[in-house]
A = this chain, B = another copy of it.
């Protein structure tokens, strides 16, 4: 909640860059300080420990998610439109900035630390709730079938996005994630449609 100093933000940015370059393992105090041009011990002026850096990273990440979601909710468009925009945006964002997928890949690292793990869960649930809300909206407006539980649909959507991104990462970015994402969304949308043969 506290505002971060410029230096703190710089440290977090460097951490993200390092994650993108070499995975979460590359986030060491040494690499961090090298990237910033400081000496290692100087980092500890700005964060109490490495754990605090990672937590701040997650917090900042979550805040951005919340903001993006808030913007989306405030738009005057139907639930299905919002959902489509969300999904396509997600694919686009990941494709544009592979750091994000690197970050997702780092989740398991955070499992050791309860605090960090909770931050992850928090964010995941926030997003899933929003998706669920959009689906409910769409169901109420008869935009999509209403004979299934929004919760599982939301989970299915998030899983599809993440798995597609994972495959993209494992293929060493070997295909166009956004195009693939559009197809994936098309399939999901069709599956949710009312009246089909």
Residue A173 lies at the interface, judged by CB distance under 8 Å to chain B: no
Residue A24 lies at the interface, judged by CB distance under 8 Å to chain B: yes
Give the interface size class of chain A: 35 or more
Residue A14 lies at the interface, judged by CB distance under 8 Å to chain B: no
Which of the 9-residue segments A52-60, A61-69, A87-95, A152-160 touches chain B? A152-160
> Which of A105, A124, A156, A161: most chain B Cβ within 10 A?
A156
Measured in the bound complex, the distance between the Cα atoms of B170 and A184 in whole Å is: 26
Least Cβ–Cβ distance between A61 and chain B, in angstroms: 15
Measured in the bound complex, the distance between the Cα atoms of B195 and A120 in whole Å is: 39
Residue A107 lies at the interface, judged by CB distance under 8 Å to chain B: yes
- Please tell me if the beta carbons of A108 and B161 are within 8 angstroms of each other in the complex: no
- Contact code string A175-197 (vs B, CB < 8 Å = 1, else 0): 00000000110111011101111
- Please tell me if the beta carbons of A111 and B121 are within 8 angstroms of each other in the complex: no
- Please tell me if the beta carbons of B156 and A188 are within 8 angstroms of each other in the complex: yes
- Please tell me if the beta carbons of A160 and B155 are within 8 angstroms of each other in the complex: yes
Q: Which residues of B contact A149 (CB under 8 A)?
A: 183, 187
Q: Closest B residue to A26 by CB, please name it.
A: B112
Residue A75 lies at the interface, judged by CB distance under 8 Å to chain B: no
Residue A117 lies at the interface, judged by CB distance under 8 Å to chain B: yes
Measured in the bound complex, the distance between the Cα atoms of B145 and A105 in whole Å is: 34
